[in-house]
Structure 1
Amino acid sequence: MSRSLVVKVTCGTDDAERSNQGFTVAAAAAASGASVSLWLTGEAVWLAGPRREDGLSLEHATPVADLLAVVLTTGTVTVCSQCAVRRGLTQDDLVGGVRIAGAAVFAEEILFPDVQAIVY
């Protein structure tokens, strides 16, 4: 039995390389069959919301929209509730399949046995 992976991405277009790396790791793990939960906080929430078409333009990198789609096929993607509220985002603003949840849910996920958490 493999461990689950929780990836938290805290940046968006403000730090494109770090943000894309988090999405890449989450998508690679999901594609390999791991149980993946991707959390978007701070500026990363825009990548699942109305500015997603702006996306990240990063040379030699898979577009974030494609990576997000990979994670959504087998895993979960969550936008931080406080981050969403601060940016005026609601559930209707997000890509289908993305949920909004708070710190209690994040803490619960990372405290399960055999979970690896990574923050970008």
Structure 2
Amino acid sequence: MSRTLVIKLTAGADEAERANQAFTVAATAVAAGAEVSLWLTGEAVWFAVPGRAETFELPYAAPLADLLAAVLEGGQLTACTQCVKRRELTEADLLPGTRIAGAPAFTEEILADNAQAIVY
């Protein structure tokens, strides 16, 4: 029985190390074969907008665009409903494969059997 890793990222580009760490852990877990759900909240929702990950830079870190692509390919990327609305974004503004969901879906994921939640 496998565990699901649910990661919530609350930091945007203004907190580069924390943001990059969440994406690195998510992509590494996907590569290891884990079921991964990465939630973007607050300023982190901007990473779900096309082109934003490509402009992110952090010395000695894997390119964020590559980490994001790994999550989209092998996991689930979710943008917070309220956070998206506060930034006047819609599903059409986000990368294909990104879902918009809120607290009920997050709560369901983290309370599921064999789920491990991490917040960055």
Shared fold per TM-score greater than 0.5: yes
Structure 2 residue runs of 5 or longer lacking an equivalent are none
**TM-score calculated relative to the size of structure 2:** 0.95
Q: Tell me the SS of whatever aligns to 2:84.
A: helix
Distance 1:27 1:82 in 2: 25
Instruction: Kindly indicate whether the alpha-carbon contact (under 8 Å) linking 1:55 and 1:63 is maintained by their aligned counterparts in 2.
Output: no
Residues 56-103 of structure 1 show CA distances to partners (whole Å, capped at 9, x for unaligned) of: 210011121111110111210000000000001100000110110011
| Mean Cα deviation higher: 26-35 or 56-65 | 56-65
Residues 14-70 of structure 1 show CA distances to partners (whole Å, capped at 9, x for unaligned) of: 100000000000000001100000000000000111561563210011121111110
Letter in 2 for 1:56: F
Q: Tell me the SS of whatever aligns to 2:105.
A: helix
Q: Tell me the SS of whatever aligns to 1:100.
A: strand
What is the number of residues matched between the two proteins? 120
Q: Percent identity?
A: 62
Q: Tell me the SS of whatever aligns to 1:20.
A: helix
Distance 1:77 1:54 in 2: 17
Distance 2:45 2:55 in 1: 11
Whether 1:68 aligns to 2:68 is yes
Partner of 2:86: 86
**TM-score calculated relative to the size of structure 1:** 0.95
